[in-house]
Amino acid sequence: MTKVILVSAVALIDPEGRVLLAQRPEGKAMAGLWEFPGGKVEPGESPEHALIRELHEELGIDTWASCLAPLTFASHAYESFHLLMPLFVCRKWQGIPQPHEGQVLKWVRPERLRDYPMPPADIPLIPILRDWL
């Protein structure tokens, strides 16, 4: 039986309509690939609260559950686990995103998202996000 891992991700949208991508740092699985910020949902945690925690830890920004709008989700079978990943959209937060875990950050126009190599689970999210924006 394949283990299902729940990961929460967010498309942070700046006032110019750009989306924040984070490049996975060396030493992590899929290093060098670009992804939407987020992380694993811990036991007893909601996807929204996992994102609030992860955004604070990884980027040094604060947001609220009321500012996280669910957009779509990814369901992808990797070799050793199955990933279930809700994608939220957020336009309101406090602070300026800074890389706190060795990742590289880049604000990307929606039409350029395909220019950045991403993990297989993230790729199907691009057209949905682009159409929504």
The domain spans of the chain are 4-132
For 4-132, the fitting CATH number among 3.40.190.10, 3.40.50.2300, 3.90.79.10, 3.30.1360.120 is: 3.90.79.10
Mean pLDDT calculated for residue range 108-125: 95
Residue 94's identity, in one-letter code, is Q
Mean pLDDT calculated for residue range 94-99: 96
Whole-model pTM above 0.75? yes
Q: Does position 60 have pLDDT exceeding 90, yes or no?
A: yes
d(CA 99, CA 105): 7
Picking from 22, 30, 8, the residue whose alpha carbon sits closest to that of residue 103 is 22
What's the chain look like in SS3? CCCEEEEEEEEEECCCCCEEEEECCCCCCCCCCEECCEEECCCCCCHHHHHHHHHHHHHCCECCHHHCEEEEEEEEECCCCEEEEEEEEECCCECCCCCCCCCEEEEECHHHHHHCCCCCCCCCHHHHHHHHC
pLDDT at 2: 86
